[in-house]
């Protein structure tokens, strides 16, 4: 049995310690906001926060996440997190989603990025693109993603 700290709650999962966090979230805990894309750490669809850092849950074994704070898109966009709420609002305002599949990972990467900035810092377009480069959108909504992240930074 592995106990994970998910969105501030201890959640026990009876899984092999090598099981990726992604599958613990989706299959054992019903937190399906975190998406499976490539399963190989390449697309960013599965991004969650582990101790505040954007992490790819498809290649993060539950054993390595035990004792750390895991935050999923459900909590990040619930309204309790100011930055997450700003990103969500900007996402809606800029109509970012096309198919929408990548957006929870995009939002989690954007939220971690914005939280990493010094207070009052407005990221440049190039800084946003660099921060978001690991999250692939097959619909190609990168201009809207950039605009939403810039807006959320204000």
Residues lying near ligand FES in the complex (CB under 6 A) are found at 36-39, 41-46, 56, 58
Residue number with the smallest Cβ distance to ligand FES? 58
Q: Which residue has the tokens 């969650």?
A: 48
Which position has the token pair 């969105």? 7
Minimum gap (Å) between residue 29 Cβ and ligand FES: 17
Cβ closest to ligand FES, residue 134 vs residue 150 = 134
Is the CB of 55 or the CB of 86 nearer to ligand FES?
55
Question: Closer CB to ligand FES, residue 45 or residue 131?
Answer: 45
Q: How far is the CB of 10 from ligand FES (least distance, A)?
A: 24
Task: From residue 93, give the alpha-carbon distance in Å to each of 13, 77, 97, 101, 148.
Answer: 37, 15, 10, 18, 8
Find the Cα–Cα–Cα–Cα dihedral 42, 46, 49, 53, rounded to 10°.
10
Query: Which is closer to ligand FES, CB of 39 or CB of 83?
Result: 39
């Amino acid at each position: 049995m592995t106990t994970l700290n998910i969105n501030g709650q201890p959640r026990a999962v009876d899984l092999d310690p090598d099981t990726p966090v992604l599958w613990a979230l989706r299959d054992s805990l019903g937190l399906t906001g975190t998406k499976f894309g490539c399963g190989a750490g390449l697309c960013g669809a599965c991004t969650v926060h582990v101790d505040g850092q954007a992490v790819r849950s498809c290649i993060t074994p539950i054993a390595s996440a035990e004792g750390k704070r895991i935050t999923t898109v459900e909590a990040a966009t619930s309204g309790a997190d100011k930055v997450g709420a700003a990103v969500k609002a900007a996402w809606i305002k800029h109509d970012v989603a096309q198919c929408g599949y990548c957006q929870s990972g995009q939002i989690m990467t954007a939220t971690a990025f914005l939280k990493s900035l010094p207070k009052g810092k407005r990221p440049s377009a190039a800084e946003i693109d660099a921060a978001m480069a690991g999250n692939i959108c097959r619909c190609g909504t990168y201009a809207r993603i950039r605009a939403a992240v810039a807006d959320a930074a204000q």
